[in-house]
Structure 1
Amino acid sequence: MAIYRCEVKNISRGQGRSCVAAAAYRSASELRDERQQITHDYARKTGVEHAEIVAPDDAPSWALDRQSLWNRIDAAEKRKDARTAKEVLVALPRELTLAQQVELVRDFARTEFASKGLVADVSIHAPDALDGGKQPHAHILIATRALEADGFAKGKDKSLDQPQGIEAIRERWATHANRSLERAGLEQRLDHRSLEKQRIAALQRGDEIEAIRLDRAPEPKIGPVAAAMVRTGRSEEAHAWRDASEVRKDRGWRDRLAETLRTVQAKALELGVEIGSKARQLAEAAKSFLDLPEVAAAGQALQWREAENALRQRQDSQQRARKQTLSRDWKGFSR
């Protein structure tokens, strides 16, 4: 499922970081840092699917050469603690192909940065995820000064220095990503707001089912280093992965629950019954049945009689009591 993530970070000399080294690592290339006289060679780095420089239309040729670009950017800063670049890190929808991901990130970089005179160095990484799939994401390194005819502007671009600017770019990333998902014919959509804000908005518009789906903990981030440690059995990181897995499991459960409740709601509307106010009661009653594959299959096909028969076949007394609660609620909705 598509996951939202958009973070803004600083590349700062004060933190012992080099924009040349950052560009070399993210693009899996070899770059020479002329100021420090150090060569950063990451040409053998794996997992980098694509790298390109997105520059303004009138950019000079040197701005399209990674070696020249980042050394000139570095030379433009005189302070020993200077922030030499910004980085925007975004998660890419797995559901998109690599070509679609490249188009998405390129359009985002061109619209939000290059159009304002800023050069963006884009790299798409797709390391292995612990669930067996890929973890596609993009690193967008951005110059802190706009290009000018003879180099860089005297003043820095500060659009990503303030909370409102960061919130704005987070919202625009969601807009770009959702446009790409729509063009690809996919139903998934991303939302830059916190889960709590999304839940409150759902309640305000009367969507109790969506509020139930959103009433969960945010998914913790497990970075590539921690993921590698999990694979080697490092206990602390393994605990973190298990915690993240529990959150993902809860998210999956709530997604299935919402899908089931919407199916029930659609069936109820056919019968002229409004169930919005009782959605949470029905959710609690249905909770113990959602992991039963025969019930899920029957429910998805609206085979209510088959689903009811599948439940009856469960002889456990606790399951039977919960089934009776679900049956009573359903009868109440049908009146």
Structure 2
Amino acid sequence: MIEDYIKSHMTSKGRIVNYAIHIDDINNFHAHLMSTTREVDKSELEFAKKNVIGRTWNDDDFLEGLRKGWADTANTHLAKLDHQVRIDHRTLSAQRDEAIEQFEMATTVEAKAEALSRAVSLDRPAIQHIWRSKLDTEEGKALREVQQDRRDLQLIIAEETKRSVLSLPQEIVLNNFTPKKIK
């Protein structure tokens, strides 16, 4: 998977990439990628004299493309292995906004309940990075536990929201929770 990603999104664009896969913790498989910020020349034997393409590799659009590329590559490999989980490179806020749009466009109670549940599950702060040096400390473990508890609580609230929506009369749900005017 990592080689597929590197070939598709980095070396094919002239970058040199070195990677290492770390399995030092059974719960934290990860890879480190180290890359150039200069493109190689046409001979692929040395760096280009003018670093034109390489200058764009720190642009926000290029970095966003790398993030999307990782999500797409990982999701392709997850699907090949019949895993149901998927990766989304976008912020929680962007994903939540999309779920709210899906709620507004949904035409069935079930679809509305599912979209609203997803929006609620995403209405939380992102889990913050904890430096490895702090991860194994009491402070780091406590911080990670609080973050995971917050995420887990939001998932429970999302499931309760879904059940609540499904228990409402269909007319109320399909009219976006706005009651009809009394004549």
Instruction: Note if 1:141 corresponds to 2:34.
Output: yes
Question: SS in structure 1 opposite 2:31?
Answer: strand
Report how far residue 220 of structure 1 moved.
1.4
**In structure 2, what is the Cα distance between the partners aligned to 1:194 and 1:259?**
21
More helix per residue: 2
Change (3 A) 1:255 1:204: same
**In structure 2, what is the Cα distance between the partners aligned to 1:265 and 1:110?**
47
Aligned-partner residue type, residue 140 of structure 1: L
Matched with 1:167 is 64
More strand per residue: 1
Question: SS in structure 2 opposite 1:154?
Answer: coil
Matched with 2:170 is 274
What are the ranges of 5 or more consecutive residues in structure 2 without an aligned counterpart?
Answer: 104-114, 175-183
Matched with 2:118 is 210
Are the equivalent residues in 2 in contact too, given 1:127–1:135 (CA < 8 A)? yes
Matched with 2:151 is 251
**In structure 2, what is the Cα distance between the partners aligned to 1:194 and 1:123?**
26
Instruction: Note if 1:154 corresponds to 2:62.
Output: no
TM-superposition CA deviations, 1:131-178 (whole Å, max 9, x none): xx4211111111222333242211231232111211121111111111
Report how far residue 254 of structure 1 moved.
2.6
Report how far residue 126 of structure 1 moved.
2.3
Aligned-partner residue type, residue 155 of structure 1: K
Please give the residue correspondences for 1:312-327 in structure 2 after superposition, counting only pairs within 5 Å.
Answer: none
Question: SS in structure 1 opposite 2:144?
Answer: helix
What are the ranges of 5 or more consecutive residues in structure 1 without an aligned counterpart?
Answer: 1-103, 231-237, 279-335
Are the equivalent residues in 2 in contact too, given 1:145–1:152 (CA < 8 A)? yes
Question: SS in structure 2 opposite 1:134?
Answer: coil
Are the equivalent residues in 1 in contact too, given 2:100–2:116 (CA < 8 A)? yes
Matched with 2:177 is none
Q: Percent identity?
A: 24
Matched with 1:114 is 11
Change (3 A) 1:185 1:108: same
Are the equivalent residues in 2 in contact too, given 1:208–1:277 (CA < 8 A)? no
Structure (1 or 2) with the larger CA radius of gyration? 1
Report how far residue 113 of structure 1 moved.
1.4
Instruction: Note if 1:222 corresponds to 2:130.
Output: yes
Matched with 2:108 is none
TM-superposition CA deviations, 1:248-290 (whole Å, max 9, x none): 112123334445655x489x49xx9539859xxxxxxxxxxxx
**In structure 2, what is the Cα distance between the partners aligned to 1:242 and 1:224?**
14
TM-score, normalised by the number of residues in structure 2: 0.74
**In structure 2, what is the Cα distance between the partners aligned to 1:197 and 1:165?**
19
Paired residues, number: 159
Please give the residue correspondences for 1:118-133 in structure 2 after superposition, counting only pairs within 5 Å.
Answer: 118-128=15-25, 133=26
Are the equivalent residues in 2 in contact too, given 1:216–1:251 (CA < 8 A)? yes
**In structure 2, what is the Cα distance between the partners aligned to 1:273 and 1:106?**
51
